[in-house]
Amino acid sequence: MHDLIQYIQSYLGSDKTPGVAGNFFWATVYVLLVFVGLSVAVIAMNWLERKILAHMQVRLGPMRVGPHGLLQPIADALKLLLKEDIIPDGADKVVFWIAPFIVVLAAFTVFVVVPFGPTHAITDMNIGILFMLGVSSLSVLGIVTAGWASNSHYPLIGALRSSAQMVSYEVAMGLAVVSAILMTSLNATNTGTLSMIGIVEAQKDQQVWFLFKFFPLGIIAFVIFAIAMVAETNRAPFDLPEAESELTAGFHTEYSGFRWSLFFLAEYSAMIAVSSIAVTLWLGGWLRPFPNLLQGATADLVFSLIPGVTFLFLGAICFYNTARMPKHPLFRIQTIGLAGFGAVLALIGLVLFVPVVRLWVSDIFWFSAKVAVFMYLYIWYRGTFPRYRFDQLMKVGWKVLLPTGLALLILTAMVGMRAELIAQVKEALHL
């Protein structure tokens, strides 16, 4: 028992991730924390997407279940779990059963290497970004098998579209990622890294987010990735695999109840995963804005207060809307509920002001805030852009993004090696 407590305590104060330190206990704790955090994020995204889309279309969105529909995702989840689980008569039962699990496993496994902070990751791998791209590319297998196993026309067409789309956009995505990785090698030893934590630390050392490195090359790479990542996650405007107007629901038409909710879970956690890649590679990961420009105790204090202020602000919005609730007796429980929700948010905000918590949470907060921007963009795209036609989709992927990515890769390498290149040209011209 004493050994166990010492073993648990031995990790505290370590400057490594639990996976690298080889501490099973904290690795398990981190895995559970990431899993719970992801599930909460997916539930929150479900509510936010419906609300934000509704407000973009001048509707109210869910309003009935709980104050402002806050309990709607929980009601939805209960409904899905209680629904009848249907397996079509002609379906390939084993493959039909496995497919949702492949998608969920692929979507959740990638979070093993996502760096929420210098020590706040489950583990750090030498092949971090390669691992993320590889495992997330396995999810297409689940989609393809789901479409085929349903033994129905719409799912099969959806699966074929999905596999063609994901394979073609992976190429452009890979080229954009490589150009960012090239930038990590611009240090004293000329050694790059694929490790997710290493990539963020390279941005810290070079004192610039890779988004602004070699302007405009970094931004172009980022834009290629941002387009390809929407296509990779099958979201609007690239949601052809599940185009409602043409294919009812695409590859998961025949799925119902719990299995369908697994696809839903996987889609949203895959969105969070690719957003985390974008944040890590181009937006400085867990680094707060201006870590080098605004140094010193005052700036540190101001930036570390932002998480708490954010939660207090959210709580204040809740209280404002509590005051605006209808005064009818029927709305009394909803009003109390909204006030309670605001109180919880404000309490979280107050806890985030405690110096120890502030220190622990600031990197997680900045990472999550950057990812949240991407999640909002996903919803915004869905509310703004019409769906691409399939030939347009292929044209964008192969004729625009791929050549741009190739040119970008060569240009990034040339700019990165410009000193050596100039020296070689001078030598060749005998200058």
Partner 1 sequence: MNPSLTQNPPVATSFFFYGIAAIMIIGGILVITRKNAVHSALALITTLLAQAALYLMLYAPFVAGVQIILYAGGIMVLFLFVIMLIAIERNMKERQFNKQWLIGIVAAGALGGLFIAVYTTVTRTASGSKTIFPLGSSSYAEGQNTQGIAALLFSQQAGTYMFAFEIASLLLLVAIIGAVVMAKKRI
Judged by the rule CB under 8 A, the positions of this chain that interact with partner 1 are 3, 6-7, 10, 22, 92, 94-95, 98, 125-127, 130-131, 133-135, 137-138, 140-141, 144-145, 147-148, 156, 159-160, 163-164, 166-167, 170, 191-194
Based on CB atoms, which residue is closest to partner 1, 62 or 142? 142
- Helix crossing, 153-184 with 196-205: angle to 10°? 40
**Closest distance of CB 18 from partner 1, Å:** 12
Based on CB atoms, which residue is closest to partner 1, 134 or 216? 134
**Closest distance of CB 176 from partner 1, Å:** 15
Instruction: Name 154's Cβ contacts closer than 8 Å, sequence gap at least 6.
Output: 247, 248, 249, 250, 253
**Nearest C-alpha neighbor of 50 from the set 383, 405, 387:** 383
- How many Å apart are CA 358 and CA 140, to the nearest integer? 40
Based on CB atoms, which residue is closest to partner 1, 127 or 394? 127
Per-residue 3-state assignment (H helix, E strand, C coil) for 117-169: CCCCCCCCCCCHHHHHHHHHHCHHHHHHHHHHHCCCHHHHHHHHHHHHHHHHH
- Residue 404 in contact with residue 254, Cβ under 8 Å? no
**Closest distance of CB 4 from partner 1, Å:** 8
Based on CB atoms, which residue is closest to partner 1, 68 or 161? 161
Based on CB atoms, which residue is closest to partner 1, 6 or 57? 6
**Closest distance of CB 367 from partner 1, Å:** 23
Based on CB atoms, which residue is closest to partner 1, 42 or 402? 402
Burial of 254 (0-12, 13-18, 19+ CB in 10 A): buried
**Closest distance of CB 261 from partner 1, Å:** 23
Based on CB atoms, which residue is closest to partner 1, 156 or 220? 156
Based on CB atoms, which residue is closest to partner 1, 144 or 375? 144
Residue 294 φ/ψ region, left for φ over 0, alpha for ψ in the -120 to 50 degree band, beta for the rest: beta
Q: How far, in Å, are 74, 314, 342, 352, 354 from residue 308 at the CA level?
A: 26, 10, 14, 5, 9
If you count them, how many residues does the chain have?
431
Number of CB atoms found within 10 A of residue 153's CB? 11
Based on CB atoms, which residue is closest to partner 1, 135 or 221? 135
**Closest distance of CB 136 from partner 1, Å:** 9
Residue 296 φ/ψ region, left for φ over 0, alpha for ψ in the -120 to 50 degree band, beta for the rest: left
- Helix crossing, 297-324 with 355-384: angle to 10°? 60
**Nearest C-alpha neighbor of 275 from the set 181, 367, 167, 212:** 367
Based on CB atoms, which residue is closest to partner 1, 49 or 232? 232
Cα distance from N-terminal residue to C-terminal residue, the chain: 74
**Closest distance of CB 149 from partner 1, Å:** 8
- Residue 282 in contact with residue 222, Cβ under 8 Å? yes
**Closest distance of CB 420 from partner 1, Å:** 12
**Closest distance of CB 109 from partner 1, Å:** 11
Based on CB atoms, which residue is closest to partner 1, 8 or 336? 8
**Closest distance of CB 227 from partner 1, Å:** 20
- Give me 232's structure tokens: 């990779």
**Residues 357-369 as b or e (16 or more Cβ within 10 Å = b):** ebeebbbbbbbbe
- Give me 155's structure tokens: 């799912």
**Closest distance of CB 117 from partner 1, Å:** 20
